[in-house]
Amino acid sequence: MLRSSTLLAPILVLSSALLSDVSAQVLAQEELPAPVKALESQGIDIHGQFSAPGGMRGFGASVQGREMAIYLTPDGEHAIVGTLMDSDGNDLTKPQLDEHVRAPLEAQTWALLEESHWIQDGDLDAPRVIYTFTDPNCPYCQQLWEATRPWVDAGKVQLRHIMVGILAADSPGKAAAMLGADDPAAALRAHKRGDRIEASAQPRDIEEHVYANNQLFEDLGLYATPTSAFQRETDNGTMRIERIEGMPSDERLVEMMGSEEPSS
C-alpha cells in the first residue's frame, strides 16, 4: 500500500466479536447494574469497573472502537455517559479509560498477534519482538525488511511477519506459498533477496491461515502494509502496544527497533 505518514499510535480497535469476549469476562464476575446492562443491550461493550467520586461507580466501555466512561449514580438507578471533571478542571475520566479499556484491549491484541500465523525473521531469543503485517507484493514491506537487517542480523530484534494477501490477486497465493513452505523463514528470505515466490496451491489449512491473518488485519482496523506493532514499557512498569503504519521514518525506525542502529 502507499507509504503512510509516520503515524505512531496504540492499537485499540477490535471487532465487536472480540470486544464481546472481554465483556463476557466482566459479566462472569458480577451481574451488571440494570442501567449499565441496558446500555450493553444497545451494543455498548463493558470492559471493567472502577471507583468514582460522589458515591458513583464507573465502568470502562466502548462502542465500535470508541472509548467511553459510564457513571452509575449512587442510587443505582441511573447511568451517565461522559467525562467527569473535578473543581480544578482536571479530567478524571481519561486515566480510568486508559487503565480499564485501553490496557486490557491492548493485552488481548498482543495475544492475538502471538496466536496469528507468522514467519520468524531473526533470533528466537532476541530481546525485542516486533509483529509486522507483510504482503508478498508490498514494496514498502521490502523496504522495511532491508532497513531492519542491522538489528535482526545483530540478534537484537526478531521480526514476526504476519503474512497477509490483500494487495493483488495473487497476494493470498504467495502468502500461502510462504507459510506452506518446508522452511518458511528460508522462503521469506529468498523472496526478500530477489528470488520471488510464486503463488501456488496449498493445503486448505494453510490457505485458511492466510484468511485468518487477513481477518485479523481487518479486525484491528488496519489499512496499510506494513503495519508493525511493538511493546513499550510505561513509567509505571506496564507494557503497552505501539504501532507504526507504513514504512517508518528513520527516527520512528530507531524507536521501533528499541535502539540506535548496531555498528557493523
pLDDT per residue over 170-226, tens digit each? 999 999 999 999 999 999 999 999 999 999 999 999 999 999 999 999 988 899 999
Closest among 147, 110, 121 to 3, alpha carbons compared: 147
Rounded Cα distance, 259 and 262, in Å? 8
| Assigned domain for 168 exists | yes
The reported pTM is: 0.78
Closest among 183, 236, 174 to 207, alpha carbons compared: 174
Within this chain, do residues 121 and 231 fall inside the same structural domain, yes or no?
Answer: yes
Rounded Cα distance, 175 and 167, in Å? 11
Percent of the chain whose predicted confidence (pLDDT) is above 70? 88
- Helix (H) or strand (E) run with residue 191 in it: helix 184-192
Strands 57-63 and 45-51: antiparallel
Within this chain, do residues 85 and 132 fall inside the same structural domain, yes or no?
Answer: no
Beta-bridged to residue 70, according to DSSP, are 59, 81
Rounded Cα distance, 199 and 132, in Å? 21
Domain boundary among 74, 89, 104: 89
| Assigned domain for 99 exists | no
CA distances from 54 to 57, 100, 153 (A): 9, 20, 57
Of residues 62 and 248, which shows the higher confidence score? 248
| Assigned domain for 264 exists | no
For residue 250, give the CATH number of its domain: 3.40.30.10
Task: Please determine, for residue 3, whether its predicted confidence score (pLDDT) is greater than 90.
Answer: no
| Assigned domain for 105 exists | no
Within this chain, do residues 182 and 59 fall inside the same structural domain, yes or no?
Answer: no
CA distances from 170 to 15, 24, 135, 194, 199 (A): 26, 39, 10, 17, 6
Query: In terms of residue numbers, what domain contains 182?
Result: 116-257
Rounded Cα distance, 178 and 175, in Å? 5
Residue type, 231: Q
Within this chain, do residues 244 and 149 fall inside the same structural domain, yes or no?
Answer: yes
Within this chain, do residues 126 and 245 fall inside the same structural domain, yes or no?
Answer: yes
Q: How many CB atoms lie within 10 A of CB 206?
A: 17
Domain boundary among 89, 124, 152: 89
Q: Total domain count for the chain?
A: 2
Domain boundary among 89, 124, 144: 89
Rounded Cα distance, 228 and 243, in Å? 5
| Assigned domain for 3 exists | no
Within this chain, do residues 83 and 173 fall inside the same structural domain, yes or no?
Answer: no
CA distances from 178 to 15, 31, 189, 192 (A): 27, 47, 10, 11
The 3-state secondary structure of 73-100, one letter per residue? CCCCCCEEECCCECCCCCECCHHHHHHH
| Assigned domain for 8 exists | no
Q: By mean pLDDT, which of 66-70, 103-107, 119-123, 125-129 is the weakest? A: 103-107
| Assigned domain for 184 exists | yes
Task: Please determine, for residue 68, whether its predicted confidence score (pLDDT) is greater than 60.
Answer: yes
For residue 31, give the CATH number of its domain: 3.10.450.70
> How do residues 220-253 score in pLDDT, each as one tens digit?
889 999 999 999 877 776 778 999 999 999 999 9
Closest among 149, 143, 177, 179 to 161, alpha carbons compared: 179
Within this chain, do residues 121 and 195 fall inside the same structural domain, yes or no?
Answer: yes
Within this chain, do residues 127 and 252 fall inside the same structural domain, yes or no?
Answer: yes
